[in-house]
Each structure stands twice: as C-alpha cells, then as structure tokens.
Amino acid sequence: MTKMKNKSIAFIAIGALFSLYSCAPVYKCGEEKPAGGIQGSNRLLDVVNERDELCEIVEVKDKENAYLIKNNQQLGITNDSLATRNRELVGEYNELEGNFNKLQDKHQTLQKDHLELSERFSGAITNNLNQGHLYDERIKEKERRLTEKENALLEREKRINELEAEIARQDSIAKRLNQLLKEALLGFDSNELSIEIKNGKVYVSMSDKLMFQSGKADVQSKGKEALKVLADVLKKNPEFQILVEGHTDNVPIKTATYKDNWDLSVARATSMVRLLQETHDISAERLTASGRGEYEPKASNSTATGRAKNRRTEIILSPDLSEVMNYLGK
C-alpha cells in the first residue's frame, strides 16, 4: 500500500514537471522514444527517465494483477466444487453412522437374547441333575472342611501349649536369676539398690548415690563393687540380654561436659557398659546403653525424696525370646 502511494506521488510530480516544461515535446508512456531523443534540461531528462521506469513497473504490476484475478477466479470455482463434495461426504457419513447405530442396537439385542437362552439352558441342566448325588457331594465337602478345621484347632492348641510352656520356662529362668541376684547383692542397702521382675524381665535399679558423684559419669568405688557382683552372676547366665538405662531428676544441668540431663544419663549408662565389657568380660553383643534423662520418673520430682528415686541407673535383664518369637511366627 505504501509503494502505491509513493508511485502516485511520483506520477503527480512528473505531471507537474510536464506542465512546467510543456513547451518541450515529450512522448507518452508506451510510445517509442524519438530517434533523436528529447530536448530539455537535465532535470527534465531525469524526470522522463524516472517516468519511463515507473511506467514499466506499472505495466508489470498490471500483468501480475490480471494473472492474480484470473487465478482467484479459478480458485473460487475449485472451492465451490470442494464445498459441494464436502456436503455430499457429510451426508454419506451421517447415513453410514445411522446404519452403524442400528446394527449396534441389533447386536446388543442379540447378545441379550443369547445370554438369556444360556441361563435357561444352564438352569435346565442343573434341575435335571441327580439330587441325591448332589446331596452326597455336599455332605462329603462339609465333612472335609470340618476335618480341616479340627486339625487346625489341634495344631493351634499344640502351638499354644508349647508357647505357654516356653513362656513359663522363661518366667522360671527370670525368677531364678532374680533370686540369685538378690542373694548376691545382699550387702547393699535397699535405698542404694533394688531388684524386681516386671513383664518377664529382671530390673536391677541402682541409685546415683551408689554409682556416681553428683553431675558426673565416672563410676565410684562402691558402685564398681556392685557391678562386679552383678557381672559374676550374668556371666553364668549368658542367655540374658543386658540393657543399661540411665535416668535423672528434672533439675536442669549444664556443664562443660554435659549439655543436659539426657546427655548425662547416656554418659552414665555408657560408663557402666564399658566396665561390664572391659573389666568383667561381658560380651559386647549382650550389652546396650541408653539414656532416658528426666523423661521416665519413678516418683514425683516435686519432693527431694522423689527426685532421689528418679536419679538412678537401671540394668534391665531380658531372657532370650527367640523361641517365643519362633512360636509366634508359626
């Protein structure tokens, strides 16, 4: 569009120049140049040459435009033909789709009829079977299932009896160890050391007064004596696993060595485990050290007596439960 405007301006300019130089003979667009050329100023000659170039361009564009008009007319005819064919194809498709839907409905009806006939046929066969034979088969099946259930109950009862016997044996071992430890540790006061059985495990509770100085984790001499007596009994009863668990009261502690009560409880349990292993040759595979800090008190921390009970280290002795677990896993 911009080019066309530029051309129009050029033509106007040329016309103006022609008016200015109307006295000079100038040939028109499409005419041959005079043999002797044209007479006039250099400006006129430049304008005439530029006009000739524009005339040639206009002639080419006219030819291109005529070609495009003709081609567009042909494309319009082709488009009309294709649109007509498309409408025909759409009509054919709609007709085929309608026929397909009708056939599909007939197919579903036939499938339904076939299913009903199959069910009637199966029912007729079932009704014609020998009722006595069916009754016998049902009785045999019930007897087989009853036998299986009886065998399963017998097997379960056997396993329960074996499990109860194993648990009783473990309880007996724990009671025997409890008695051995009480006899071996008679030399220690009850406020320093106590022994009890809970949930099939033997709990040996040692006060911090017996084992440690305040805020420290090194076992003092009297505590070492108690550990030696305990270790002598444990070495003779290797079937027990040993968990050493440290406990404190809720009075905060923070030193250069221990960040808090939890840190101190773990350090005390670890110190006792090392003595049992390194000094008394208790197998490391049997030993576990842990700390509960102030989070499992035996008494209220609101009184001095309660806090004293909470400051303790418990040695928890658990019998080997592998046999019990085997029974449970069967």
24 Rama class: left (phi>0) / alpha (psi -120 to 50) / beta:
beta
pLDDT of residue 329: 57
Lowest mean pLDDT among 99-108, 238-247, 315-324: 315-324
Count Cβ neighbours within 10 Å for each residue of 155-166 and write b for 16 or more, e otherwise: eeeeeeeebeeb
The CATH number assigned to the domain with range 173-329 reads 3.30.1330.60
SS (H, E, C) the chain: CHHHHHHHHHHHHHHHHHHHCCCCCCCCCCCCCCCCCCCCCHHHHHHHHHHHHHHHHHHHHHHHHHHHHHHHHHHHHHHHHHHHHHHHHHHHHHHHHHHHHHHHHHHHHHHHHHHHHHHHHHHHHHHHCCHHHHHHHHHHHHHHHHHHHHHHHHHHHHHHHHHHHHHHHHHHHHHHHHHHHHHHCCCCCCCCEEEEEECCEEEEEEEHHHHCCCCCCCCCHHHHHHHHHHHHHHHCCCCEEEEEEEECCCCCCCCCCCCCHHHHHHHHHHHHHHHHHHHCCCCHHHEEEEEEECCCCCCCCCCHHHHHHHCEEEEEEEECCHHHHHHHHC
As beta bridge partners, residue 110 has none
- The model's confidence at residue 285, banded by pLDDT at 50, 70 and 90, is very high
- 33 vs 13, more confident: 33
So what's the pLDDT on residue 16?
45
Give the pLDDT confidence score for residue 22 in this predicted structure. Answer: 40
Predicted TM-score of the model (pTM): 0.52
In this prediction, residue 108 carries a pLDDT of 87
Beta bridge partners of 289: 244
pLDDT of 4 > 80? The answer is no
Mean pLDDT calculated for residue range 280-301: 96
Tell whether the model's pLDDT for residue 123 goes beyond 80: no
> CA-to-CA distance for 100 and 90, rounded, in angstroms?
15
Q: For the chain, give the percent of residues with pLDDT over 90.
A: 39
pLDDT digits (tens, 9 = 90+) for 52-90: 888 889 888 888 999 999 999 999 898 888 888 888 888
pLDDT, averaged across the chain: 84
Enumerate the domain spans of the chain.
2-78, 173-329
pLDDT band at 276; cut points 50, 70, 90 = very high
Residue of 265, 253, 252, 251 whose CA lies nearest to 293: 265
Residue 128 reports pLDDT greater than 80? no
- Does 12 score more than 70 pLDDT? no
pLDDT at position 20? 41
**306-330 tens-digit pLDDT:** 999 999 999 999 987 665 555 555 5
Higher pLDDT, 10 or 59: 59
List the strands of the sheet with 287-293, edge to edge. 193-198, 201-207, 312-319, 240-247, 287-293
pLDDT score for 23: 39
User: Which is nearest to 220 in space by CA: 247, 248, 243, 192?
Assistant: 192
Is the predicted pLDDT of residue 18 greater than 50, yes or no?
Answer: no
SS3 74: helix
Q: What pLDDT is attached to residue 1?
A: 52
